[in-house]
Amino acid sequence: MSPAISVILPVHNRADVLGRPIRTVLDQKLEDFELIIVDDGSTDESVVFARSFDDPRIQIIELGQNRGGNAARNTGVRAAKAPLIAFLDSDDTYLPEKLGGVVAELERSPTLELLVDSFVKIQPSGARVVRKNPVIGNREQFRRALFTRVLWRATPSITAKKEAIVRAGMFDETL
């Protein structure tokens, strides 16, 4: 049986900070997930550190060479078993209710294919800035909001149906 959601975590030489994002996924209130860590050709101990987490929900994929974050994300999407995909960067973390909240929202709205949720940005000074996104149900309003900075977006705030990501052509690996 497939998990409710797959979390894609691309990594490149982040052994020093990798524990934080992994731990915040493992500490989710929703436990029905898989975490796919895609090592993008790290030359440090990132893979060794990732393997130190003994949890059957973790899958580690090694690309062998550095191909970039978008190539790593695409590799994770292709490997994902869940119908929903969430993204997490190696220097970011999730709040404990993140996965449960996005899964519930996408189940409540079956025609919704993409969710850009709110997030908290912590400044270098330690100040917390809440980036609260409005609820937008109309496709054209969403498109306009996305490209006019009405929606605050960061990769970890994006959750989408796997089929929609594939249909959209995945991440541009030339960026």
Average pLDDT in the chain = 88
For the chain, how long is the longest CA-to-CA vector?
Answer: 45
Is the Cα torsion angle 84, 45, 95, 118 positive or negative in sign? negative
Residue 13 has pLDDT above 80, yes or no: yes
Cα separation, 38 vs 17, in Å, equals: 15
- Are 99 and 8 a contacting pair, CB within 8 Å? no
Helix, strand and coil content of the chain, in percent to the nearest 5, comes to 30, 20, 45
Residue 85 has pLDDT above 70, yes or no: yes
Inform me whether the pLDDT recorded for 136 exceeds 90: no
Whether residue 48 has pLDDT greater than 80: yes
Do 120 and 95 meet the contact criterion of CB atoms below 8 Å apart?
yes
